Amino acid sequence: MAQTADRYPVAALAELPDDIRERIVAVQEKSGFVPSVFLKLARRPDEFRAFFAYHDALMEKEGGLTKAEREMIVVATSGANDCLYCVVAHGAILRVYAKNPRVADQVAVNYRKAEITPRQKSMLAFALKVATDSAALEEADYDAVRAHGFSDEDIWDIGAIASFFAMSNRLANLTSMRPNDEFYLLGRLPREKRPG
């Protein structure tokens, strides 16, 4: 498991600022392991705090999108960006939220073939345009998702999640972030608890 360049050493927990160490310990207690993204980013505390504040603002909020739908956006756009960390880690979270052991692999490869609703497919088509060709967005793209009942605030959510993971995917590729082994199996077996 060691032959890939492992860029940027992981922070030592004991040396981290209190707030960051506490968040990491809380994740550890809830999930049973610490996802690599926490340890990679912790060596830069200001960036860590801003990253997770932004993440939580987009992923933990209430609104027209379910948590599973938010994760679908992450997995589909991370697949388009060939980001291993995000496909595997968020694929696990998506399986858990959607209570479907297949949907993450489907959405990561080709959402058109996935076991999701037409409304969710329109959401992913919009998210992928934001991810891959945002300058070409035009009124027809907004109308297409509105036709499935998404409000303009929902559309902001869809687009902002795709945008945030455009950043996140690049950071993971830049730093050679590796998915924890635990993620690969999470949500694939019948009874499992949801992640934090």
Residue 14 to residue 21: CA distance in whole angstroms:
8
CA neighbor of 79 nearest in space, from 4, 155, 165: 165
Would you tell me the crossing angle of helices 45-59 and 152-175 to the nearest 10 degrees? 150
With binding defined as CB under 8 A, does residue 4 bind a copy of itself?
A: yes
Applying the rule CB under 8 A, the residues between 159 and 178 that interact with a copy of itself are 159-160, 162-164, 166-171, 173-176, 178
Q: Rounded to the nearest whole angstrom, what is the least distance from the CB of residue 89 to a copy of itself in the complex?
A: 11
Q: For a copy of itself, give the closer residue by CB, 30 or 102.
A: 102
**Contact (Cβ atoms closer than 8 angstroms) between residue 180 and residue 36:** yes
Taking CB under 8 A as the rule, does residue 99 contact a copy of itself? Answer: no
Calpha distance 31→56 (Å, rounded): 17
Q: 46 is written with which tokens?
A: 């200001």
Of 22, 50, 147, 196, which one interacts with a copy of itself (CB under 8 A)?
Answer: 50
Smallest separation (angstroms) from a copy of itself to the CB of 95: 10
Q: Which of 62, 135, 140, 191 binds a copy of itself (CB under 8 A)?
A: 135
